[in-house]
Structure 1
Amino acid sequence: MNTLPTKDQIRQWITENPGLTGKRDLAKAFGIKGDARIDLKRMLKELEAEGGLEKKARSYREPGALPPVSVLLVLPPDSNGDLFAQPLEADAGDSPPRILIMPQKGDVALAGGMKILARLTPVGGQDYGYQARLIRALGSNPLKLLGVFRSSAEGGRIIPVDKGVDKEWKVARDHTFDARDGELVEAEQVGPKRLGLPQARITARLGDPNGPRAVSLIAIHQHGIPDQFPDAVIAEADAAQPAPLGKREDLRHLPLLTIDPIDARDRDDAVYAEADPDPKNPGGFLIWVAIADVAYYVRPNSALDREARKRGNSTYFPDRVVPMLPDVLSGDLCSLHEHVDRACMAVQMRIDAHGQKLGHRFTRGLMRSQGSLHYAQVQDAIDGNPDAVTAPLLPILTTLYAAYDALKRARALRQPLDLELPERKIVLSDEGKVTSVAFKARFDAHKLIEECMILANVAAAEELVGLKRPLLFRVHEEPSQDKLESLREVAEASGFTLAKGQVLKTAHLNRLLAQAQGTEFDELMNISTLRSMTQAYYNAQNFGHFGLALRNYAHFTSPIRRYSDLIVHRALIAGHGWGDDGLSAWDVENLDETAKLISDTERRSMVAERDTNDRYLAAFLSERVGNEFAGRISGVQRFGLFVKLDETGADGLVPIRSVGREYFHYDQDRQVLIGSDTGIEIGIGLRVNVRLAEATPMTGGITLDLLNIEGATLPTGRAKPGRYQPRKPGKFAAKDAATKRKVVRKRR
């Protein structure tokens, strides 16, 4: 039986442990479990009502006490030069406590009026109530940068690697961290902002910036992606053992197969299909999708769990992967390797001859993959060229493709957004040098797996909605009206139509893409449609998935590399009573925060992966400066044109100064540049020829010179040799004003 603490004991604990004052912290401290938590909650409410405690953001503290980590306003130095601060809490009172800032070596220099985040320690017997240790300054300085160190007698300078950042940082001699000339370093700003070069101190040395695989290392540090597992996490992973059959359903008789990229680092999912034996479902199929049971190894609130949640997902680069889980799990125990027993979460889905799902059944099982195949290998087998591995599996593959044919019919009826956006693949040598850049081949085998995974994700969402269990939905909202209007203008300028005055559906966008298919505007409409879309994200509330045209959708199929899927697995475990490793009370209580966190980490990984590809492409092209390339305008801005090169898919900038010899007005609504003299319009989708002027591997920047548009050189306008012609933006300013008035009237 749990013994409840007295109210005095609770107050004493909160006083002595200001950082552990949540209800769960208190329950853990006093060993309170089960129903006794209700009594603890009642006692805390009584203390709050009596004025003995106050509650702030799910934690408790003494009335009038400040939280251990607070936002402070720095006051001007006093007569002794000491810095004090006051809390920015709305209820800090008429006489807020005095807080003395205790500076540490290397802290950012503070000045009166700055806002800081600081850790507070109560003190007694002084004329101030707290001491503060700086955590970071808020909203006042770009703290971190990555760059190449250049040494000098006074210390040195740092040349940033970020595209668009051209100001160097100055490093004093005692802040160089013994960095060598030419080394890649991480640094942070020190001292107040002032005119001239910002002051910095080096905090980490990252080695040769031109060394093998330095490109992805730059992205990892630049975007703050955790790439080292704490010792406690590694210890938990190393202690893991294969899951026994126990109460699991034995699925080892099913000839499940994994089909992945040829260079796959982990294998989350396996598939199998068979004709439905039920005579009431002629032409129907039973499709099995089995997914690695990561929840068995990554228990709620374990060190593994906390680290996986912090990372949110795995991040993939051409030369490495930064995994969400240690390799002993992601590459071994959780990965569905062939001919070995593996714990899994599986769903059997019954579809009719038209690919419509008639029902599903989830189970927690033990499986044994009959083959680890790759996409091209499977496609070759189906096309009549099986190899020694796929030949004996051909009957299984044939049935899978038959089931896929049915799923295609359902997809055609549902009409998800059908964009054609080929992916590029960067191939590296063993030394980390780019050997080739090509577009990835896309086979029916890819689409087969995609449709099976989508169906399983839908089943998982529907199952948990039916069980009334909390989960994380994958949400994709419809485009905003402003973005739709921009897309409509691009379509109309290209001779196509996008209907107005109706509830937008993906079918409408697909009709627009079909109009453009095979025309010179094909790529333009695909790019413009993609840019009109909102960013998908995770949410505990279900707002549907616009792009897939689905009402209920959750991520279930990749728990090795996505934390969202692990949450869905835990929800299924809890909903079916399959063990004590299901969704915990803490998981449920913090579901909104988890959704925001992993949505942010997903975007972080996407940006890091894109930046890395840009740098590799710049390195690949740096040896071809002066060469001419064909491409298409992919973006228009006031400062120039973005061009996507056909050969590599690399994006380069044509600065506005090299676009013709006249002033160009930028029409933001239509995304075009308009020549002030000639009236020529330059917009997204036009074919161009360019010359490579510069490629900088360190930043990924590519600069191009424009040679011609649609095979024709740009007119030179009315400019006459030897005579200055002023810019003529006046008539376009009038047009802008008229456009703005029109937009304002519409929005009212």
Structure 2
Amino acid sequence: MSQKLITGRLSVHRDGFGFVTPETAVAGLDRDIFLPPDSAAKAMHGDRVAVRIVRLNPRDGRAEGDIVKVLERVHESVTGRFRLRRNKYYVEPWDVRLHGWIEIPAALVLPKKGKPVDRVGAAAIEVQTPEDLEGMIVTAELLEFPSRDAEGVGRITEILGHPDDFGVDVEIMIRKHRIPHRFPPQVLEEARAVREEIPESEAARREDFRGLDIVTIDGETARDFDDAVWVDRLPNGNFLLQVHIADVAYFVRPGSAIDREAIVRGTSVYFPDRAVPMLPLELSTGACSLKPKVDRLVMSALMEIDHRGDVVAQRFTRGVIRSAERMTYTAVHAILQGDPALRDRYAALVPRFELMKELAGILNRKRTRRGSIDFDLPEPLIEFDEFGEMTGISRAPRNIAHRLIEEFMLAANEAVAGHVAAAGYPIPYRVHEPPDAKKVAEFEDIAAQFGASLGVKPVAARFRETVRRRDGRKSGRDIIVTDANLPITSRHYQKLLARIEGKPEERILSYLMLRSLKQARYAAENLGHFALASGCYCHFTSPIRRYPDLVVHRVLGALLDGQSAPYTLPGVEAISEQASKSERAAAEAERELVEWKKVKFMTGRVGDEFTGLIISTQPFGFFVELDDLFVEGLVPIASLAGDQYGFVENTRRIVGRRTRREFKVGDRVTVRLDRVNGLERKLEFSLAGSSFATPGKSRRPRSS
């Protein structure tokens, strides 16, 4: 094989093998490079490595490699359980992708300061001897990195507490996903120097909106109010939409300590019971937050919109507002539903809310006409009591009040993007590229079992039995796309969503459609936004919690002042890459913590029965999502009684050999919770009652 080295990031599977994603395209290589466990153990998950190809299949571009050198280490420390084994001390990494325990020499077990980390709800932790730490969650600084032949060595720097202590789960996620969570002293010093009072000289040079009954509309627990809105009807019958966004750029200057930290953080991270803000609280919930009844500086987008939803005129300006009310989604929804008490309390604002509802409907219908996709998948809401204990899981509300703010923010983002793009100034666009043909083919293969299709031309593809699946363990069925030129549009997705609305398969097919799409990201090149069916889009409306929005504000400000572009194209490319990376880490941390909390909540319900939907079938069993709880778990194929069951690859069904009873995606079943694996955050179920599907032939797909 060629001795040319390929560089990329190592992704390690919990079972030890790994993959390296090349940083640049490699001729003849169609996918990530597979690394067997012996090779993957030479580095840690996330490291940047140099790999030599040792085996390449020219037919499909699959390659196997070996790590030659570690180019960049991403882990300076490891968080995990403290363990005492055979008179030695170790840290067992919480992240299962970090293989091998870290040995802690006896002299380095107790932190020098002897204090636990400062966290919400933390109680004093009495630690006198290393043995007192057994089972606790700690952080160890790495002194020697683990390798294939040797354990890593470290020293304890933090004692977080027991895994079930309040707040420890958040601390683990922060460290696992390497989320910056402590502001450096210089940042805090700058933040303390910020004054909330607006100088009259600054207000005088801005457009004054303080006489308007502008409002913010947010969730009940929100403290950082980015946006405020106002709608009026013009004499010509059109609407005037004003979207006022906190002028963070006024307070955060390029190159300042706060700015440098914000670049690194990229985004605020929202956990169920706390947030890790991008900006210090003096700004995020103080000077920048659009609190009611106080003067605040804003960047404003003013749009005249006709009855088709077209923006017929627009302008942008620096402004000063005084929010009339801090409204909640719940209250505005109730007002629009006719709640007499709230309509009386906010009588002066009711006509404004009615106009907002009317305009939001017009904007939504316009987006629908152009092909914008709205999956409206349920999101879990973790519920707590006054002591911080989790009490339940429910569906997060998404009512008309949420939708009208969404529509107004989308309109403002699109208007700003088009304005800046026309000037040719570089900004981080929010882009969403069309799906890969292979992902579409995989979705169509499953959708056909429900008689559904995106309606695009047949994907030129073939199926092949693979020797190794992506997980490196099982043989299986792979789709090879032979013609990647697929005329897929957002309308194909939109129309299928409309066809399956209200049907039993709606939930699973909507989820699978979403999975077939690429992730949205930031980019210096305007590539359009597939899901929104928008040719030009950016993020402008949340500069308190997203760094790309702050950049867009600065660029818009330069345009307003007649100045040259404040950022170069390479500079915006670097910002976009960092922001996308931060966003992915935040989303993964938020998702994983919610899953962990859901599993912990289910610990006390072992033996209970639930109804749910089969959302995935695998050779080892099928996964069920429970109704109303948004919790999923595995029903192992070995637990299915009364027959010998096997997995049929080409139909993705689990079928009994004698009875022909089958289980497939979309089936409803009743299950019993048998086991909770808290360490791996997994639930295991078995079938309860008469949950077996009716024996007989498979359902014939319906035409659509």
Structure 2 length-normalised TM: 0.76
Please, what is the CA RMSD of the aligned residues? Answer: 3.1
Choose 515-524 or 265-274, whichever is displaced more.
Answer: 515-524
Of residues 605, 621, 646, the one that matches 1:664 is 646
Q: Which whole-Å CA distance do the structure 2 matches of 1:163 and 1:704 have between them?
A: 23
> Which residue of the partner structure matches residue 150 of structure 1?
83
Q: Is 1:602 aligned to 2:583, yes or no?
A: yes
1:269 pairs with 2:239: no
Q: Within 2, Cα distance between the matches of 1:689 and 1:167?
A: 39
**RCO comparison, higher one (Cα < 8 Å, 6+):** 2
Q: 1:452 aligns with which of 400, 408, 432?
A: 408
Tell me how far 1:673 sits from its aligned partner.
4.6
Change (3 A) 1:549 1:192: closer
| Corresponding residue SS for 1:202 | strand
Q: Which runs of 5+ in 1 are unaligned?
A: 1-70, 72-107, 118-135, 716-748
Report the residue type matching 2:589 in the other structure: A
The corresponding residue for 1:478 is 434
Can you list the C-alpha shifts for 1:550-591, whole angstroms capped at 9, x where unaligned? Answer: 101000000000001001101101112178xx9634x65411
Partner of 2:421: 465
* 2:523 equivalent to 1:539: yes
Alignment-derived partner of residue 450 in structure 2: 494
User: Is contact 1:155–1:174 with CA below 8 Å preserved after alignment?
Assistant: no
Find 2:552's aligned residue among 556, 560, 568.
568
Give the letter aligned to residue 428 of structure 2: L
Report the AA paired with residue 669 of structure 2: V
1:522 aligns with 2:506: yes
Q: Conserved in 2, the CA contact under 8 Å of 1:290 and 1:346?
A: yes
Matched, 1:185 2:118: no
Which of 562, 584, 589 matches 2:566? Answer: 584
Q: d(CA) in 2 for partners of 1:531 and 1:543?
A: 20
Amino acid at match of 1:311: R
Cα separation, 1, equivalents of 2:307 and 2:359? 8
Q: Mapping of 1:219-618 within 5 angstroms? A: 219-241=173-195, 242-243=197-198, 244-277=202-235, 279=236, 282=237, 284-385=238-339, 386-387=341-342, 389-501=345-457, 503-577=487-561, 584-585=566-567, 588-618=569-599
CA distance in 2, matches of 1:373, 1:698: 41
1:449-506 per-residue CA deviation (whole Å, 9 max, x = no partner) reads 0000000000000110122211111001111111111121222210123223372222
Alignment of 1:667-686 (within 5 A): 667=649, 671-673=652-654, 682-686=663-667
**Cα deviation, residue 516, structure 1:** 1.7
Distance in 2, matches of 1:677 and 1:146, equals 50
Query: Is 2:670 aligned against 1:689?
Result: yes
Cα 1:160/1:663, change in 2 over 3 Å: farther
Amino acid across the alignment from 1:620? F
SS of structure 2 residue aligned to 1:366? strand
| 1:10-159 mapped onto 2 (5 Å cutoff) | 138=71, 144-151=77-84, 154-159=87-92
- Deviation for aligned residue 1:165: 7.7
CA distance in structure 2 between the aligned counterparts of 1:141 and 1:560, rounded to whole angstroms: 27
Contact 2:102 2:146 in 1 (8 A): no
Q: Kindly indicate whether the alpha-carbon contact (under 8 Å) linking 2:425 and 2:565 is maintained by their aligned counterparts in 1.
A: no
Of 154-163 and 526-535, more deviation after overlay is shown by 154-163
The CA deviation at 1:401 is 1.6
Larger Rg over CA atoms: 1
Rounded Cα–Cα distance in structure 1 between residues aligned with 2:187 and 2:193: 10
Deviations 1:621-677 (A, max 9, x none): 11111212111122334444322111310122334443566363463x765456666
Q: How many Å separate the matches in 1 of 2:670 and 2:147? A: 44
Q: Deviations over 1:277-317 (max 9, x none)?
A: 2x3xx3x2010000000000111111111100100000000
With over 3 angstroms needed to count, the CA separation of the structure-2 counterparts of 1:568 and 1:635, relative to structure 1, is same
1:173 and 2:106 aligned: yes
- C-alpha distance in structure 2 between counterparts of 1:418 and 1:115, whole Å: 37
Q: Residue type of the partner of 1:560?
A: I
Q: Percent identity?
A: 36
Once residues 440 and 426 of structure 2 are traced to their aligned partners in structure 1, the CA distance between those partners, rounded to angstroms, is 33
SS class of match (1:245): helix
Distance 1:145 1:400 in 2: 50
8 Å Cα contact 2:524/2:569 also seen in 1: no
Deviation at 1:254, TM superposition (A): 2.2
Change (3 A) 1:162 1:194: closer
Asked whether the equivalents of residues 161 and 699 of structure 1 are also in contact (C-alpha less than 8 Å), the reply is: no
Contact 1:232 1:303 (8 Å CA) reproduced: yes
**Would you say how many aligned residue pairs link Structure 1 and Structure 2?**
580
* Inter-CA distance 169–684: structure 2 relative to 1 (3 Å threshold): farther
Relative to 1, partners in 2 of residues 1:474 and 1:673: Cα closer, same or farther, differing over 3 Å? farther
Q: Tell which deviates more after alignment, 376-385 or 338-347.
A: 376-385
Asked whether the equivalents of residues 154 and 173 of structure 1 are also in contact (C-alpha less than 8 Å), the reply is no
Question: 1: CA distance between counterparts of 2:73 and 2:265?
Answer: 27
Q: What 5-or-longer segments of structure 2 have no aligned partner?
A: 1-7, 9-40, 51-68, 112-129, 458-485, 696-704
Alignment partners' CA distance in 2, 1:432 and 1:365: 40
Residues 1:369 and 1:516: Cα distance change in structure 2 (over 3 Å) = same
Q: What TM-score comes out, normalization by structure 1 length?
A: 0.72
Q: Per-residue deviation at 1:696? A: 3.9
Measured in 2, the distance between the counterparts of 1:253 and 1:419 equals: 39
Range with greater deviation from structure 2 (491-500 or 522-531): 491-500
Structure 1 residue 697: deviation in Å? 4.1
Please tell me whether the aligned partners of residues 390 and 601 of structure 2 are also in contact (alpha carbons under 8 angstroms). yes
* Partner SS for 2:530: coil
Which deviations, in whole Å up to 9, do the C-alpha atoms of 1:301-344 show, x marking residues without a partner?
11111100100000000110000000010001100011110000
* Of 199, 202, 206, the match for 2:156: 202
Residue 214 of structure 1: how far off its partner (Å): 1.5
**1:232 and 1:343 mapped to 2: Cα distance?**
25
Q: Distance in 1 between matches of 2:98 and 2:636?
A: 16
| Corresponding residue SS for 2:213 | coil
Range that drifts further, 331-340 or 569-578: 569-578
- 1:635–1:684: 8 Å Cα contact kept in structure 2? yes
SS in 1 for 2:533: coil
Query: Per-residue CA shift, 1:499-520, capped at 9, x if unaligned?
Result: 2337222222122122222222
Give 1:698 deviation, angstroms: 4.7
Shift of 1:137: 5.1
Q: 1:275, CA displacement in angstroms?
A: 0.5
Change in CA separation of 1:116 and 1:483 when aligned onto 2, cut-off 3 Å: closer
Alpha carbons of structure 1 residues 389 and 196: separation in structure 2 relative to 1, 3 Å: farther
Give distance in 2, aligned partners of 1:303 and 1:191. 32
Please give the alpha-carbon distance, in whole angstroms, between the structure 1 residues aligned to 2:255 and 2:101.
43
Q: 2 CA distance for matches of 1:430 and 1:583?
A: 50
C-alpha displacement at 1:149, in angstroms?
A: 1.3
- Please say if residues 109 and 191 of structure 1, whose CA atoms lie closer than 8 Å, have aligned partners that are also in contact: no
C-alpha distance in 2, partners of 1:367/1:642? Answer: 51
For the 8 Å contact 1:252–1:367, the answer to whether it is kept is yes
Q: 1:648 to 1:354 in 2, by over 3 A?
A: same
Partners of 1:364 and 1:233 in 2: CA distance? 26
